[in-house]
Structures are given as structure tokens and as C-alpha cells.
Chain A
Amino acid sequence: MAKQMDEPEMRETKKFVAEWLQAQRSEPHPDPDLLAAFAENGLTKSNRDSLLAHLAACSDCREVLYLAMPEVAEVQPGFAISRKRPRLAIRWATLAASLVIIGSVFISNRGLFTRHSGENAITALNSPGPASESAQQGATSLTAEKDTFSTQSPPKSRPPLKHMTAKPKAAMKFDKSGQVYFGTAPAVSINTEYGVKSKIAVPATPSWQLSPGGGVLRSLDGGKSWQTIPVVEGGSFRVINSIGFAVWVGGNAGALYHSGDQGEHWTKVEPAVGTHKLNSDITQITFSDSSNGSIGTANGEIWVTSDSGKNWQLK
């Protein structure tokens, strides 16, 4: 159901907008081919704009369009990409930020770890799981340097670390297409009570999309600007999927390309089982991680890989 509008401003505007829009007429109706292409993001900008102008004025066609949208599970991965990637981006960035924070705190306070090698250093960090383990390992490895540091260190009543603030989320934004991204090399600040401050760059995750003409577009600034990435000369693609640094694009007649470095280099992938090759139009690319994924084709074939596309199985 529609979202409830509780703001008076919205209610007021709705009255005028609704009446005006209802009064518009637009005929003749577009053919189903055009509506299907629109729903699949397959129209050129001018065709899309003309169709949207009709749709804005024609309630019948809008109804048809909404009714004809596939169930969420059926949505082309080209559209699903925006739902999948942010979560992964967050996971990766969180992991990277955590490692960077732990590492930086550890390095900038080596003296403290050495002095409190053993229970004090670990208590000061107070971080569970693998982080504690790494701190413990670090503390142990630094024990050898203990004597050197102990001669320069202040009295042992030094308080434990606190005020450690990491703000990876501050750099997290939504781009104009609603995708979550991380600004170009956002800095993670780490402050300690002793005034130690360090800034560590977290690598940016690019956003990907296909142009209406099937070109591959990449944005490194969260969707503010897009650059065309040359994959293959004259290449036109239908679906795109990215996971981490890996990007897959698929097009007609089995055209399948993979990049493992955020689109800097591309390799043509030719799935085959025996003499049978993937040569149908690629309609779906789904990867759950950088190794495991599947390719769907127009003739109903599902090709599966579990080693980043080196070997394929036909389901």
C-alpha cells in the first residue's frame, strides 16, 4: 500500500498534482514491446523520456507497467545489483576499517603493549574475538623488545586506552541512484588519550551500471559522475554484476567478460562443457561471492561456476 502522507504540505500538493495529472490525456498507447523494454531498462534516453511522458498521463499504461513487473525474486540482476552491493560494501569497509583501527592503535601504542604485555594490554583494548587474538599475538611478539622500551617508559600507573573513535559511517552516503557508496578514500580518524592521531584511507568501492546503449559505466564518486569503461570494442551488454572488486558483464550471443580489478582489465570468458559452449544471449548474472556464481541465458541454460569462472557446469 501507499505510504501514508501525514504532512499537510504533501496533502495540499497532492490535491493539485492529482487533479492536473488526471486531466491529462495521452494516446495512442505504446506497444507491449516498448513497455517491456522500459521495464528492463532497455530503451534509449529519448525513447524512455517519450514513454515516461505517456505513462505520466496514462493511468492504464501505468497499471499495465506495474502489473507486468516481475516478482522481486525474478528481477534481473542488473536491477538487483543495487540491493546487493551496498551490504557487501558495508561488510568489506567495516572489516577493513576494523583491521586498520586495531593495527593503528597497536602500532601507535607499541610502548603500552610492551609495558603491559600480558593481561593489561589485552584488557585495555577490550575487543573480543579475532581482534583480541591479534592483539595478544602482537603483545607476545613485542615481548622481545620489552627491555628496550621499559627503560624509556613512564611509570606503570598509566591509564588504559580510551576515546578511540572510528567513523567509517561518516563517509557512507547514498548516491543519486540510491546506492550506498564510500567517498573516495575516506579517512578513518583514530584518537587516543595521548593525542595520537592517524588517518588511514579506506579504498573507495566503485558503482556500476549499464548505459541505455549497453555500455559499461563506472562511478568512483558515488554516482556524481560516470565514466564509460571500455570492455571490448563495440561491446554492448545487457546485464552487469559486481561483487567486491570483481565485475561481470554479459550480452548477446554469449558475450561474457570479467574484471577482477574494478574494471581496469577485462578478460573474455567462454564457458563450455565439452563441446557445448555458452553462445546464447546472457540474461542473468548472479554471484554470491567472487568465486561462486551463475549465468542465465535466453534459451534457459544456467551455467554455474565455483572458481571465478575458470570452470563451468551446465545445470
Chain B
Amino acid sequence: MAPKNLEHLAISAELDPSLAELYRSAHAEEFGINVGGFAAILDDIGTRNCPKASAAEKLQFWAKLHLEDLALARGCAQGNEHAWRVFMGRFRERLYDAARQVTRDDSIGRELADSVYADLYGTQTRNGQRVSKLSSYSGRGSLAGWLRTVLAQEYVNHYRKQRRLVSLDRECEEGAQFPAAPATEIAPVDTRVEQATDEVLRSLTSEDRFILASYFLDERTLAEIARVLSVHESTISRKVEKLTKSVKRQILKNLLAAGMSRRQAEEALTTDVRDLRLDIRSSLAQDSVTRAFSSKELGAGEGRG
């Protein structure tokens, strides 16, 4: 039964044939979710993701969700036994496989998958009720893709935690126990270089910046970037080449416009970037965040992006 404050949704779901059709196509009944409950789930997802949308737009948005996966996930989150049986049958092996793929290690992969299972089942309670991570799934991507992402996030958190708990011996080996005093005085560099770089990179599209970050910072292969963006490897290859050339040309142009001579500008471009007064350390401030992807944050971040 739908809670009292959601009764209007239950009524509208029964009256609205479109909602009833979504309910039917999701097979939500099979997982113990009634039409009102399902309407409430959709309403919640719609409100979070497209709060200003009209009723027709919301309906369109809901129709594009992975409704069957959504019903299954929410059925599991509500403790429906049949839903869990279906979930285990469908995703148990895939979860272990994905965990092995993420960790590239059998035992760590199993450990990671077990830990995610615990979260999916719900080890914490809120208001006396078990909170399953599956209740945060909203069906925008497939459940399989969501599970892989959750695994990857857990792995990144785990890795970061391990990195913080590095042993004293290792710290000594790495010389981190007695680190050298940070260089307080950084060689002054013409701020025009930073400004020119900032201007040019800021003007790029987000996709171009993503490609550059993946290629230059993460050292991802062209094939990996291409897969993530669903394009051919040669497209990324051409883009990287084109971006590299245009970024340099634009920075040079900006430096000339800022009053540098061509020679000065060209020399500035060959400067060792360590001399630039960019506060790189502050960019790594994520290290100070306890967990990059805490459950709380995930919930809060839902629908953003």
C-alpha cells in the first residue's frame, strides 16, 4: 500500500493509462511494488532530475528510464525475496566478474564484490529501517552499468584509503617521513603565461577538456578514450592532434596580444611548468576529503551533473 501522503499518486497512477503502462512494462508488481508505490518512485526521480518539467515531459523522461531494472532494484531495496532471487540470478556472477575486471585481482575482486553486496543489502539502518544502496538507483543507466560504477567507486575509495594508511617503513623508504621543506619561494614567472593558458583552456568545450585530461593527465590510450565517448579511435587521434596544435597556437597568440615579443612568447612556452605559480597542491585537496564518493554525497549528488 502507498503511504497516506502518496495516495494522490496512487490514484493518478490508476487513472493515468500512461503511468499504468509504465508500471506494467516495468513488471513492478512481480517485485512487490504496487502502482501507487511505483508512481511515488517515479515522481521522486522526476522531481530530483527534472524538477521544472511539465507532466508530459516527465512522462517522456520516465519512459526512457530502465524501468525493469528500476523495479527490480527498488524491489530488492524493499526486501522483496523474489526480487532478490532474480537479482542474484541475474547479477551475482556479473558482479564478481566486474569486480575482478576493476581490481585485476581475484581475491581483491571478491572482497570488493562482497563489500558492495553488503551495501546493496543494507548494513545501516535509518529510522529502524534497513537502508539499501539499491534504493539510490534511479534507472538512468542500466542496473549492470550502475553496479560496475558502484564497484569502481568503492575500489577508488579503497585505494585512496590504503594510500593514506601507507606503512611507516614504506614512508621511510620513500623519504616521506622527513619530507624536504616545501619550496616557499617559487621563481617568478610572467603571469601572462598563466593567464593565456587559462583563457585558452577555459574556452575549450567540456568534451575537449575531458579528452585532454584523459590523454595527458591520466595517460589513457586513444582506444580507451574512444570507447568512453563511443567514437572511433581515429576520431580521438585526430582531435588530440588538432587540440594540441590549436592550444599552443592560441596561447602564443594570447601572449603576443599581451605584449610579449614572439621570441619571449616562444621561450615562455618552453618554460618548465614547475616554475609556474599554479597551486597544484590545492588541486589535490580531494585527498583531504575522507571519501571521494561517500554514500551521503552520492545521495545528495543525485541528479546533478
Which A residues fall within an 8 A CB radius of B? 1-3, 9-10, 12-25, 27-43, 47, 49-60, 62-72, 75, 78-79, 82, 174, 176-179, 213-214, 236, 252-253, 279-281, 283, 298-300
Contacts and interface: CB of A to CB of B under 8 A. Distances in A.
B303 interface: yes
Interface SS majority for chain B: helix
A292 B282 CA distance: 56
A70 B305 contact: no
B145 A40 contact: yes
Given A16-B197, A64-B153, A31 B276 contact: no
Contacts of A57: 209, 213
Contacts of A174: 232, 234-235
Given A1-B219, A62-B218, A300-B90, A53 B230 contact: no
Contacts of A39: 141, 145, 149, 228
Contact of B269 (A12, A252, A300): A12
Contacts of B222: 3
B214 to A, nearest CB: 6
Interface string B139-150: 111111110111
Given A20-B198, A52-B205, A62-B210, 9 more contacts: A18-B273, A23-B280, A25-B285, A30-B305, A31-B299, A67-B156, A68-B151, A214-B64, A299-B68
B146 A36 contact: yes
B206 interface: yes
Contacts, number: 261
Contacts of B219: 1-2
A224 to B, nearest CB: 14
Given A9-B244, A39-B145, A298-B142, A3 B221 contact: yes
Interface stretch (B124-132, B179-187, B245-253): B245-253
Given A28-B301, A32-B298, A66-B224, A12 B270 contact: yes
Interface string B194-229: 000110010001110110111111111110101110
Nearest to A64: B152
B228 A21 contact: no
11 contacts: A21-B212, A23-B283, A37-B141, A40-B141, A49-B205, A53-B209, A62-B214, A174-B234, A281-B67, A281-B69, A298-B142
A33 B139 contact: yes
B231 interface: yes
Contacts of A43: 140
Contacts of B102: 67-68
B interface bracket (residues with beta carbon within 8 Å of A): 35 or more
A254 to B, nearest CB: 8
A300 B218 CA distance: 35
Interface string B67-89: 11100000000000000000001
A50 B68 CA distance: 27
A300 to B, nearest CB: 5
Contacts of B215: 2
A18 B292 CA distance: 21
A177 B231 contact: yes
A44 to B, nearest CB: 9
Contact of A53 (B66, B206, B221): B206
A59 B217 CA distance: 8
Interface in B37-54: none
B5 interface: no
B213 A56 contact: yes
A299 B233 CA distance: 32
A175 B218 CA distance: 27
A144 B235 CA distance: 56
A28 B197 contact: no
A62 B213 contact: yes
A12 B304 CA distance: 35
A13 B244 contact: yes
Contact of A69 (B146, B227, B279, B286): B227
B63 interface: yes
Given A2-B219, A42-B141, A66-B224, A29 B301 contact: yes
A58 B138 CA distance: 23
A249 to B, nearest CB: 14
A253 B23 CA distance: 11
Contact of A32 (B25, B27, B153, B209): B153
Contacts of B201: 16-17, 20-21
A2 B221 contact: yes
